[in-house]
Structure 1
Amino acid sequence: MTRQPAPAPPERTGASDASPSGNITRSWPRASAVLPITPLLRYAVARHAVPPGTARRTGCDACGASVGPHRPWPALGPTARCGGCGARVGAPPASVELAALAALAALLLSRPPAVELVTAAWWLAFALPLLFIDVAVHRLPDRLTLPAAAGTWLLLGLAAVTGAGAAPWLRAIGAGLGLALFFAATTVLLGTRGFGIGDAKLALSAGALLGWYGWSVPVLGLLLALTLSGVVALALLVSRRARLSSHLPFGPYLVLGTLGALLLVW
């Protein structure tokens, strides 16, 4: 008796689309669409990364060549070099571009609802420059923290009106105000040993963005930020790159902790 060959397994149509690698492949072209706006992010960093009380930067520190949206290249490009003298301008080369790509790719892969995605994107458009500014000069300027808070509150209000209801929006506002008051209280009680007022103003938006998803989520974001800052501070102390009296910026860790908490709840 002749044995019949086993039938071939059926083809898996659309398997690549359903796989995680397929999602990543489709999301990266969308994430790369953020690259045209990175000169604006770099411009915000270059303009505001100046010591307190100093006029905002308008050109290259070395040669005075004008730097701005009207002349973005190459100073506001990935090379971050002045076209006149070749001196570095603003954030390190390619750092802003990589940070923007990573943030947007995370948003696209996690796929939150549309209005929440727009809200998070708005917040990140201000939070990413603030991260680099705080690292460079230990300040979080009002010109970026306050629009971040106003836009976040308004967009979450739009999400409330279009179906989510008033409860999550009121909770978000309460969480933003509560987190900001916590940071401000440490400044009043501890002085330079506490958090800065700039951190409190950034918390208005970060707390609202997290509070939209529940009261425990801002606590999670704060714990992530404190843990990350503690690990980095310990590493700097062990490597003798910082002392116990050193002041370390907290804004970058608040941004990273907020984004981490969002990715855990989406």
Structure 2
Amino acid sequence: MTRQPASPAPPDRTVTPDVPPSGNAPRPWQLAAAALSITPLLRYAVARHAVPPGTDRRAGCDACGAPISLHRPWPALGPTARCGGCGARVGAPPAIVELTVLAAVAALLLARPPAVEVVVAAWWLAFAVPLLFIDLAVHRLPDRLTVPAAAGVWLLLGLAALTGAGAAPWLRAIGAGLGMALFFAATTLLLGTRGFGIGDAKLALSAGALLGWYGWSLPVLGLLLALTLSGLVALALLISGRASWSSHLPFGPYLVLGTLGALLLVW
């Protein structure tokens, strides 16, 4: 009797070929390009609102009066930030808005927060970036930017609550925004010009809500980061002789940076 050869043993496991990632997800360069496409609007906001207190909005170049509008955006609202008529600088310094937007996109890509939170952060940054440069230039945070920033953050977080997160984080976010705003407003009422401004309180409505979504401790952390950063900068300016004890420094940029720093810690 002839013995049949034994059939080969099946492999221990099946090896499947690697599946390429879906091509539907946007690539980093696509996100960066999309963000850069809105930088003329951010520059427009800076150019229009970076005016002294008591002035409504800038309508044209300060040097030659050439109109600044969405109908005639270039080159004044481009990266060079130069008036098309006389070549004078208009708004934020050249390329700085674009570099700030790219840095924010890079932070979001590295942190990879949930999609809903990316949308909320993107909305807030669309207003926070121009507010940062406006406050640095003229020490003011206009209502035309702080109010829609807060309204959009509250609304988008409310939609996130309705679609699964629940009411508790949304109510906590609203409470944190109101609490932080009241803190800034109270210093203004009690200390006058030595305290924070009402514009800072209005910016805190959105910044506090963003942080409060993740818990009560994060608004405190964001505020501490902002205060620490502003204190270090003030100390450096005092030592270098570029500021005195009576100088008033804008706090909006530090509130923006402190908020982003705290968010990156939880993302």
Distance 2:113 2:181 in 1: 25
- In the TM superposition, residue 67 of structure 1 has moved relative to its aligned partner by 1.1
> What amino acid sits opposite 1:181 in the alignment?
L
Find the counterpart in structure 1 of residue 236 from structure 2: 235
1:99-140 deviations in Å (ceiling 9; x for gaps): 011112211221111111100000000000000000000000
Find the counterpart in structure 1 of residue 202 from structure 2: 201
Find the counterpart in structure 1 of residue 163 from structure 2: 162
Distance 2:161 2:114 in 1: 12
For residues 109-188 of structure 1, what are the structure 2 equivalents within 5 Å? 109-188=110-189
> What amino acid sits opposite 1:219 in the alignment?
V
SS of residue paired to 1:91: coil
Find the counterpart in structure 1 of residue 221 from structure 2: 220
> What amino acid sits opposite 1:243 in the alignment?
S
Find the counterpart in structure 2 of residue 55 from structure 1: 56
> What amino acid sits opposite 1:59 in the alignment?
G
Q: Does the CA contact (< 8 Å) of 1:28 and 1:105 recur in 2?
A: no
Distance 1:179 1:30 in 2: 32
> What amino acid sits opposite 2:185 in the alignment?
A
- In the TM superposition, residue 51 of structure 1 has moved relative to its aligned partner by 0.5
> What amino acid sits opposite 2:44 in the alignment?
Y
Find the counterpart in structure 2 of residue 5 from structure 1: none
Aligned residues: 246
- Segments ≥4 residues shifted beyond 2 Å: 26-29
Larger of the two Rg values belongs to structure = 2
SS of residue paired to 2:38: helix
> What amino acid sits opposite 1:111 in the alignment?
R
Q: Does the CA contact (< 8 Å) of 1:78 and 1:93 recur in 2?
A: yes
Q: Does the CA contact (< 8 Å) of 1:27 and 1:109 recur in 2?
A: no
Q: Does the CA contact (< 8 Å) of 1:31 and 1:108 recur in 2?
A: no
1:10-42 deviations in Å (ceiling 9; x for gaps): xxx98xx9xxxxxxxx52442232111100000
Distance 1:149 1:162 in 2: 20
Find the counterpart in structure 1 of residue 41 from structure 2: 40
Q: TM-score, normalised by structure 2?
A: 0.89
Superposed CA RMSD? 1.6
Find the counterpart in structure 1 of residue 266 from structure 2: 265
Distance 2:55 2:160 in 1: 39
> What amino acid sits opposite 1:205 in the alignment?
S
Distance 2:234 2:28 in 1: 35
1:174-197 deviations in Å (ceiling 9; x for gaps): 000000000000001111110000
Q: Does the CA contact (< 8 Å) of 1:48 and 1:133 recur in 2?
A: yes
Find the counterpart in structure 2 of residue 22 from structure 1: none
Q: Does the CA contact (< 8 Å) of 1:32 and 1:101 recur in 2?
A: no
Q: Does the CA contact (< 8 Å) of 1:199 and 1:251 recur in 2?
A: yes
Find the counterpart in structure 2 of residue 96 from structure 1: 97
> What amino acid sits opposite 1:203 in the alignment?
A
The answer to which structure has the higher helix fraction is 1
Distance 1:184 1:42 in 2: 29
Distance 2:109 2:144 in 1: 27
Find the counterpart in structure 1 of residue 88 from structure 2: 87
